[in-house]
Amino acid sequence: MSKRALKKYLNSLDKEQLEEQILDLYERFGEVKTFYNFVFNPKEDKLVQDAKYKISKEYFPTTSRRPKARRSVAQKHIKHFLKLGLDSLLLADVMLYNIEIAQAFSADREIKEAFFRSMYKSFEEACGFILANNLASEFIPRMHKIEVNTQEQEWPNKFRFEKLMDQFH
């Protein structure tokens, strides 16, 4: 169904029928319920803190299990926040936190090449998001620190981080 056809259909419904449809969607689909819960009671700070906790557990588990260090965990939260329309300042914070916690993890470990490529991709996405939302002045110090850490930890792709940061100078 096209957007135009949907509009025509929705215009043909009276208020009561429209309310019934929305309630039905709310009950049937978890994403709709999540969306409305966020719209009416955002609690953005709590969402961000929960996401940061889950991301940190991926690298520094609170139990005796070994760290999995999966980028996908953070990406899932970031994608979810984008869908919800989370404040761009908070979203950029989560994006950079993901890289910062990964750097803390890699500081004293032997890491595979794929990890470094993955973290660069995350940094590239964060930089693009920060530029697109005019947040550079807010986050340049953290971004610069990430770049410096790649140099200090001798990441094999450190020059790519440096090159990416050149667009902010």
Same domain, 31 and 68: no
* Residue 169, pLDDT above cutoff 80: no
Q: Are residues 158 and 77 in the same domain?
A: yes
Residues 118 and 139 reside in one and the same domain: yes
Instruction: Please check the confidence at residue 62 and state whether its pLDDT lies above 80.
Output: yes
With 90 as the cut, is the pLDDT of residue 6 above it? Answer: no
Q: Are residues 3 and 68 in the same domain?
A: no
pLDDT score of 53: 95
9 and 59 fall within a common domain: no
Mean per-residue pLDDT, 134-150: 95
Domains in the chain: how many in total? 2
Output the CA angle 14-15-16, nearest 5 degrees: 95
Domain holding 18, by residue range, is 1-41
Q: Is residue 24 domain-shared with residue 61, that is, in the same domain? A: no
Mean pLDDT within 92-103: 96
Three-state secondary structure readout of 115-127: HHHHHHHHHHHHH
Q: What is the mean pLDDT of the chain?
A: 91
Confidence check: pLDDT of 43 > 90: no
DSSP 11-42: HHS-HHHHHHHHHHHHHH-HHHHHHHHHHHS-
CA 58 from centre of chain:
15
> Which residue matches tokens 């989560």?
94
pLDDT for 96: 97
42 pLDDT band, cuts 50/70/90, is: confident
Kindly indicate the confidence band of residue 109, based on its pLDDT and cuts at 50, 70 and 90: confident
Do residues 15 and 35 share a domain? Answer: yes
Measuring CA to CA, which residue among 109, 110, 103, 112 is closest to residue 161? 103
| Residue 110 confidence class, pLDDT cut points 50, 70, 90 | confident
pLDDT number for residue 32: 87
Residues 6 or more apart whose CB falls under 8 angstroms from that of 125 comprise 95
For residue 61 the two structure tokens come to: 């588990």
Tell me the mean pLDDT in the region 122-140: 95
